[in-house]
Amino acid sequence: MGSRFLGGRRIAPPAITPGMTAADLIDTTFMAYNSARLREAARLLTERCLEEDVTVGVTLTGALTPAGLGLSSLIPLIEAGFIDWIISTGANLYHDAHFGLGLSLHAGSPHANDVVLREEGVVRIYDILFDYRVLLETDAFFRRIIEEEEFQRPMGSAEFHYLCGKYLAERERQTGSRTRCLLSAAYEFGVPVYTSSPGDSSIGMNIAAKQLEGSRLTIDPGTDVNETASIVLSAKRSGGKSAVVIFGGGSPKNFALQTEPQIQEVLGISEKGHDYFLQVTDARPDTGGLSGATPSEAVSWGKVDPEQLPNAVVCYCDSTIALPLLTAYALTRHAPRKPKRLYDRRGEMMDLLRREYAAAQAAGTDSD
């Protein structure tokens, strides 16, 4: 009788042929090491996360949008109904706005002389180069729109980004831009976009500058904490599941995963954790940082349902490699989904969270 450990798929891939699709390449030749983890991630995404009853949250860290991944990957996923809500660094949203404003970024060399670049007014993000005026024009756009009356109040980052997306979509329409940006696509499809550190980007810096002039706009992180928790709770209470798809790590990863401790630990509402966990990262787990923390560690915090731990994949890979491949795979292997338009349902989901919190508080009082 053979060993139970030898029941896996035999490693005997077919030869790669001209014209092979990315999805076929992943399925047939990604056999071991992190290529196998990427294949597992692709299948987890298409076979479980993209079922109709699953709410998919995506987190973004690292300079992904300046590399064009908003255009090539994230916007097509939104248009296919494969992303329901987003948590991103502010930098990704700011730099993606360059595309909606028709500003250009260029491929370059990571070995360029930075002193010379500075003298010539060129900014470098590793091997991405652009004119310093790109920053100034983008700053001017954000400063101009947040002068509008609808911005003159405290709000959560999802509402703020929705309003920004409205103005960016109109700018794209007026200019006939050949490129669009993530916020305008999210606005069109009702995808709420949050940032976990609203002051940690050029968008936040410009909000702060306008406050010196008397602007009443502030981004309220408490609103974001409760709204994101309500998205997860609503997904579960409707009989569905919650999936987190993490590119990188950092603060957006924690902000997505802390929704479950917020529900269970802080609000006292009975819940088990996210159902599906998919992460692409280059961070090691042994340094103790959140970016490298494994899904099994997340179980100990209540962030991931322990019964669903087999439905968790970590692929140690550069997101700029993995995200386009996962996008190509998902668009090839899964039909589009109807957009959930969670932005339009924020009030309804917050009402659910308030009711369950009140019930948990009352139950706790009764048991005292």
Read off the tokens for 335: 């039909």
- pLDDT digit string, tens, across residues 8-29: 888 989 999 999 999 999 999 9
CB neighbours (10 Å) of residue 33?
9
pLDDT tens for the chain, 368 residues long, are 589 888 888 898 999 999 999 999 999 999 999 999 999 999 999 999 999 999 999 999 999 999 999 999 999 999 999 999 999 999 999 999 999 999 999 999 999 999 999 999 999 999 999 999 999 999 999 999 999 999 999 999 999 999 999 999 999 999 888 889 999 999 999 999 999 999 999 999 999 999 999 999 999 999 999 999 999 999 999 999 999 999 998 999 999 999 999 999 999 999 989 999 999 998 777 777 667 766 666 767 777 777 777 778 999 999 999 999 999 999 999 999 999 999 999 999 999 999 999 999 998 766 55
Told to judge if 338 belongs to the known catalytic residues of this protein, a careful annotator would answer: no
* Pairing between β-strand 128-131 and β-strand 106-107 as defined by DSSP bridges: antiparallel
The answer to whether residue 20 is domain-embedded is: no
Report H helices in the chain: 22-29, 33-44, 69, 75-79, 90-100, 114-119, 132-145, 157-175, 182-189, 202-212, 221-237, 250-257, 259-261, 295-300, 319-333, 346-367
The answer to whether residue 27 is domain-embedded is: no
Predicted local distance difference test score (pLDDT) of residue 332: 97
Read off the tokens for 364: 């706790």
Predicted local distance difference test score (pLDDT) of residue 285: 77
Cα–Cα–Cα angle for 149, 153, 157, rounded to 5 degrees: 105
Count of domains observed in the chain: 1
The answer to whether residue 3 is domain-embedded is: no
Cα–Cα–Cα angle for 108, 318, 313, rounded to 5 degrees: 165
Predicted local distance difference test score (pLDDT) of residue 306: 72
pTM of the complete model beyond 0.95: no
Distances (CA, A) of 101 to 68, 105, 107, 142, 179: 14, 12, 19, 11, 8
Altogether, the residues listed in the chain come to a count of: 368
Element (H, E) at 279: strand 276-281
The answer to whether residue 8 is domain-embedded is: no
Q: Which of 241, 303, 338, 340 is catalytic?
A: 303
The answer to whether residue 146 is domain-embedded is: yes
Quote the radius of gyration of the chain (alpha carbons, Å). 22
For residue 334, what are the contacts with CB-CB under 8 A and spacing of at least 6?
A: 46, 50, 80, 82
- pLDDT digit string, tens, across residues 278-310: 999 987 777 776 677 666 667 677 777 777 777
Predicted local distance difference test score (pLDDT) of residue 329: 98
| Owning domain of residue 257 | 32-359
Phi, psi dihedral angles at 28 (to 5 degrees): -100, -25
Read off the tokens for 155: 């709000």
CATH number at residue 142: 3.40.910.10
In terms of Cβ atoms closer than 10 Å to its own Cβ (0-12, 13-18, 19+), residue 334 is: middle
Distance CA 303, CA 320 (A): 26
3-state secondary structure of 128: strand
> Do the beta carbons of residue 194 and residue 83 sit within 8 Å?
no
Estimate to the nearest angstrom the gap between the alpha carbon of 359 and the chain centroid.
Answer: 31
